[in-house]
Amino acid sequence: MTEIVRFAVLALTACGAGVIPCDATAQYPTRPIRFLVPSAPGGTPDIISRVVGAELSKQTGQQVVVDNRAGANGGIGMHMLARATPDGYTIGYGPLSAVAINPSFVKLPYDPQKDLQMVAQLVFGMHILTVSPSLPIKSVQELIDFAKNNPGKLSYGSAGSGSSQHVGIEMFKLMTGTQMVHVPFKAIQTATTEVIAGRVQLTFDNLASMLPHVRAGRVRALGVTSLKRSPAIPELPTISEAGVPGFEVTTWSGVVVPAGVPKPIIARLNAEINKALASQSAKERLAGSGYDLVGGTPEQFTELVSREIAKWADVVKRTGAKLD
User: Using H for helix, E for strand and C for coil, what is the string for 246-282?
Assistant: CCCCEEEEEEEEECCCCHHHHHHHHHHHHHHHHCHHH
Judge contact between 92 and 74, C-beta under 8 A.
no
How far, in Å, CA of 82 to CA of 84, rounded? Answer: 6
Q: Do strands 33-37 and 90-95 pair parallel, antiparallel, or not at all (unpaired)?
A: parallel
DSSP 8-state secondary structure symbol assigned to residue 234 = T
How far CA 114 is from CA of 14, 138, 164, in Å, comes to: 21, 45, 23
Residue type, 300: Q
Task: Check if the beta carbon of residue 123 is closer than 8 Å to that of residue 304.
Answer: no
Where do you find CATH 3.40.190.10 in the chain?
A: 126-224
Q: Which CATH superfamily is domain 3-125+251-319 in?
A: Bordetella uptake gene, domain 1 (3.40.190.150)
Cα 237 to chain center, whole Å?
Answer: 22
What is the CATH topology of the domain spanning 126-224? D-Maltodextrin-Binding Protein; domain 2 (3.40.190)
Per-residue pLDDT of the chain (324 residues; tens, 9 = 90+): 444 444 444 444 445 444 445 555 678 999 999 999 998 888 889 999 999 999 999 999 999 999 999 888 888 999 999 999 999 999 999 999 899 999 998 888 999 999 999 999 999 999 999 999 999 999 999 999 999 999 999 999 998 888 899 999 999 999 999 999 999 998 888 999 999 999 999 999 888 889 999 999 999 999 999 999 998 899 999 999 999 999 999 999 999 999 999 999 999 999 999 999 999 999 999 988 889 999 999 999 999 999 999 999 999 999 998 876
CA distances (Å), origin 54, targets 5, 272, 273, 279, 316: 25, 12, 11, 11, 37
Interhelix angle 298-319/164-176, nearest 10 degrees: 60
The pTM for the full model equals: 0.85
Beta bridge partners of 258: 116
Residues of the chain with CATH 3.40.190.150: 3-125+251-319
